[in-house]
Amino acid sequence: MKELNLEKEKISKLLALFSIPCVVSMLINSIYNIVDQIFIGKGVGTLGNGATNVIFPLVIIFNATASLIGNGASANLSLKLGEGKKDEASKSIGQSLVMMVIISIILSLLAYLFLPKLIMLFGCTENVFEYALEYGKIIVLGAPFMIIYSALSNIIRADGSPKYSMMMLVIGAIINIVLDPIFILHFDMGVKGGALATVIGQFVSFAIALFYLKKVKSVKLKKDSLKLDRNVFRILSLGLSSFITQGTILVLFVFMNNMMTRFGALSKFGADIPLSVYGVVSKINSLFISTVLGVSLGAQPIIGYNYGAGNGERVKETLKKILIINFIVGIFFNILFILFPKEIAGFFITKSDPNYELFVEFAVLLCRSFLLVCSLNAMEMTTSIAIQSLGKVKKATAVSFIRQIILLIPISILLAVEFDKGIYGIMYAGLISDAICFVVAIFIFRSEYCKLKDVSNKTEEIVEEESNEVDPSVEKVVTISREYGSGGRYVAKLLAQRLHIPCYDAEIIRQTASESGFTLEYVSSNEESKNQYYENDDRLFVAESKVIKRMAKESCVIVGRCADYVLKDKSNVIKVFLYSDDVAKKKRVTKYYGVKSENAQNEIDKINKARAKHYKYYTNREWKNFDNYDVIINVDKYGVEKTTDILESLVKKS
């Protein structure tokens, strides 16, 4: 298969190839839940739909757990494969599998034991309680299957088999769709039938996922891979951002369930109908959300690569296209909610149901108030994913929280309680939140969009001119690890000049950004500080390591960035560590770096501690363990010039 060129291929073609699989995968999970709702609604009625809605927070918890382990394991697998450490890559799969089994069983048992209390916490009413208990008991017992296959689907994609992962999900969903009407309608099993159909579908996906473990492509699984050690904490930390995101969804869903039952009970609709309708309409809205997120996530590698390569115009073109696509999708669903709310409600309830009229009336109210301008959410979701693609993960996370947490919850409470609008206040809180969030997202998107014209300039500005004249008689690579303030960077530059070979420092930043898709700003600020909440740092380390290995094919001096470890298997590498005493370091950072004398020691300690943590995280070795290096020199004992003389002599004699 011809390799795609992200810099030159048509954007529309790239979007089709990258986004469609993402959209399909995300839609499958939404359809899974919708099918259950439809048949339970037809077979059981309003209370059955309410039961599935009350149990849904548990499903979110199970999904969050799967993301925590699965995303963490897939990120670690990619990292270790990139480093060429196949044994450690194998451990990523083996250890994550053991964690999946242990954690999923514990969660399942705890959920089963505390199910009555949990469903009340999730907004259950007295009328819905028994249905929720029947449905929930089966769902939580099947939780291990769901968690394990969901987590493994991430690992399977990371192993280079996205089609297998998609097939696994599709087969499980089809089985659920086929069994739902058989169990619920034909055998009259009610909510139990819906839950049983779901668990059987999940079990089949689980079995297909386990079968894949026999034919993993990238590594060979061994018994030793299953032994747990401290590496499990690393795996979990890499999946933490996905877990936190799912946590915010859980908070919002539980909040809305409780608001619906509390204020619905004070209206003509009662507590059960708002709870049930909110659940079914939210599931339909999830089709819109899944499509927009799928399109945006599919565009991530296109945006990131071209931004890192300094091609701002292609980034702009990509952003325009995904915005147009996502707004078209949003407008379609907006029209659907405004013009056809009765028809939507009719899928989930029969006309013979005694609650039919009120169910439909509340569905119309919800669609034409709470979701009246839902298409505007396309702006917020696209902006969040887009700026994440530009490497600004914290800002992207903040944008994604604006509507769900920062706006919707406070506005709902304000209108429902302080302004005494009750259930109607909650309905219009959605409308107001969407409108405000849209305006905020426009400003953020426009700000980042306007910066794209400076991408090429920024790329050029950060490059430091280095000598390209290489002395063919010198076939050595020198790595310089140094304490902050030791003068190590000056020694490295001077040594490179003496040997007529390149000194790679800031050039590593530029090339890493260009080839990885990360922004120059992101690479510069994150390359030597590990933020445990985001997995991008590990991908950054892999990208930087590849750049360093390529540079080391010729004689050069490389400053910092764990280069001594990255090149540890090369015989022509001289690994140097430079240090000096605190007094000398304080004088140097005060004179050359503009640090105030009273702050100098704190700054030195902070930066050296960060370098030590970064080195420890990626190498599992101590930064100041001199056994890791070939040459250790106190720069202040000899001075910069004499230290350079010593190193020059060693390089030429070795």
What's the confidence (pLDDT) of residue 129?
A: 95
Instruction: Indicate the Cα dihedral angle 76, 78, 80, 81, nearest 10°.
Output: 160
Is the CB of residue 605 less than 8 Å from the CB of residue 507? no
Question: Which residue has better confidence, 326 or 19?
Answer: 326
Most confident range (mean pLDDT) of 30-34, 60-64, 607-611 is: 60-64
Backbone phi and psi for residue 221, each to the nearest 5 degrees, phi listed first = -75, 135
The pLDDT of residue 392? 65
What domain range is 277 assigned to? Answer: 11-455
Do 369 and 214 touch, CB atoms closer than 8 A? no
412: in domain:
yes
Would you place residue 219 in the very low, low, confident or very high pLDDT band (cuts 50, 70, 90)? Answer: confident
For residue 533, the model assigns a pLDDT of 35
Most confident of 127-136, 563-572, 595-604: 127-136
Q: Is the dihedral of CA 66, 25, 55, 329 positive or negative?
A: positive
Report the pLDDT averaged over residues 127-136. 95
List all residues 6 or more positions away from 450 whose beta carbon is below 8 Å from its beta carbon: none
Alpha carbons within 13 angstroms on the beta-carbon side of residue 398 total: 8
d(CA 143, CA 136): 10
485 and 521 in one domain? yes
Contacts of 194 (CB under 8 A, 6+ apart): 36, 39, 40, 43, 48, 52, 135, 180, 183, 184
Q: What number is the average pLDDT over the span 139-159?
A: 89
Residue 1 inside a domain? The answer is: no
Per the domain annotation, does 471 fall within a domain?
A: yes
**Is residue 294 within a helix (H) or strand (E), and if so which, with residue range?**
helix 272-308
Q: Is 604 part of a structural domain of the chain? A: yes
pLDDT tens sequence across 516-528? 656 565 666 665 5
Same domain, 426 and 497: no
| Per-residue confidence (pLDDT) for residue 529, from 0 to 100 | 46
DSSP SS3 for 573: strand
Q: Give yes or no for residue 2 having a pLDDT over 50.
A: no
Residues 541 and 469 both lie in one domain: yes
Give the amino acid at 321: K
Query: CB–CB of 225/90 below 8 Å?
Result: yes
Instruction: Supply the pLDDT for residue 462.
Output: 36
For residue 71, CA distances in Å to 79, 286, 312, 353, 576 come to 12, 21, 30, 43, 36
Residue 455 pLDDT > 70: no
Pick the last residue of a domain from 422, 438, 455: 455
Quote the pLDDT of residue 145. Answer: 96
Distance of alpha carbon 352 from the chain centroid: 45
Give the confidence band of 531 by pLDDT, cuts at 50, 70, 90. very low
- What is the count of structural domains for the chain? 2
- Mean pLDDT confidence for 65-93: 77
Highest mean pLDDT among 227-241, 343-357, 529-543: 343-357
**pLDDT over 50 (residue 618):** yes
Write down the pLDDT at residue 13: 86
So what's the pLDDT on residue 470?
A: 42
Q: Does residue 535 surpass a pLDDT of 50?
A: no
Alpha helices in 309-392 (DSSP H): 312-339, 341-346, 356-365, 377-389
Average pLDDT over residues 602-626: 85
Same domain for 446 and 468, yes or no, is: no
CATH at residue 576:
3.40.50.300
Which two structure tokens, joined as six digits, stand for 74? 């897939």
Question: For residue 389, what pLDDT band results from cuts at 50, 70 and 90?
Answer: low
* Whether the predicted pLDDT of 385 surpasses 80: no
CB distance 433 to 377 below 8 Å: no
Residues 342 and 275 in one domain: yes
Task: Tell me: pLDDT of 467 over 60.
Answer: no
Mean pLDDT of 179-205: 94
496 and 377 inside one domain: no
Q: Domain end: 411, 432, 455, which one?
A: 455
> Are residues 273 and 139 part of one domain?
yes
Give percent of the chain above pLDDT 90.
Answer: 41
Supply the pLDDT for residue 586. 86
Across the range 20-35, mean pLDDT stands at 77
pLDDT at 357: 95
Can you tell me the distance from the alpha carbon of 269 to that of 424, in angstroms, rounded to the nearest whole number? 11
More confident residue, 32 or 265: 265
Contacts 24+ apart (CB under 8 A), 519-523: 519/307, 519/308, 519/390, 519/391, 519/392, 520/308, 520/458, 520/459, 520/462, 521/391, 521/458, 522/390, 522/391, 522/392, 523/391
Instruction: Assess whether 542 and 624 both reside in one domain.
Output: yes
Answer yes or no: do 36 and 132 share one domain: yes
Whether 3 is covered by a domain: the verdict is: no
Residue 79 has pLDDT above 70, yes or no: no
Residue 111 lies in a domain: yes
78 pLDDT band, cuts 50/70/90, is low
309 belongs to a structural domain: yes
The residues near 155 (Cβ < 8 Å, ≥ 6 apart) are 70, 73, 74, 77, 92, 93, 96
Evaluate whether residue 569 is within a structural domain. yes
Q: Can you give the pLDDT at residue 514?
A: 66
Is 120 found in the same domain as 157? Answer: yes
Of 21-25, 38-42, 149-153, 391-395, the range with the lowest mean pLDDT is 391-395
Q: Does residue 511 register a pLDDT over 90?
A: no
Could you read off the pLDDT of 397-427 as tens digits, one per residue? Answer: 778 788 778 899 999 999 999 999 999 999 9
Q: Given pLDDT bands bounded at 50, 70 and 90, which one contains residue 133? A: very high
So what's the pLDDT on residue 524?
64
pLDDT at 135: 95
Using the 3D structure, point to which of 403, 428, 455 is the last residue of a domain: 455
Residues 372 and 471 in one domain: no
Asked if the model's pLDDT at residue 461 lies above 50, the reply is: no
471 confidence band (pLDDT: 50, 70, 90) = very low
Rounded to an integer, the average pLDDT of 103-126 is 96
pLDDT tens for each residue of 326-370: 999 999 999 999 999 999 999 999 999 999 999 999 999 999 999
Residues 450 and 476 occupy one common structural domain: no
- Residue 200 and residue 176 in contact, taking contact as beta carbons nearer than 8 Å: yes
Q: Cα-flanking dihedrals φ and ψ of residue 575, to 5°? A: -100, 120
Please say if the pLDDT value at position 620 is more than 90: no
The model's confidence at residue 457, banded by pLDDT at 50, 70 and 90, is very low
Helix (H) or strand (E) holding 108: helix 86-113
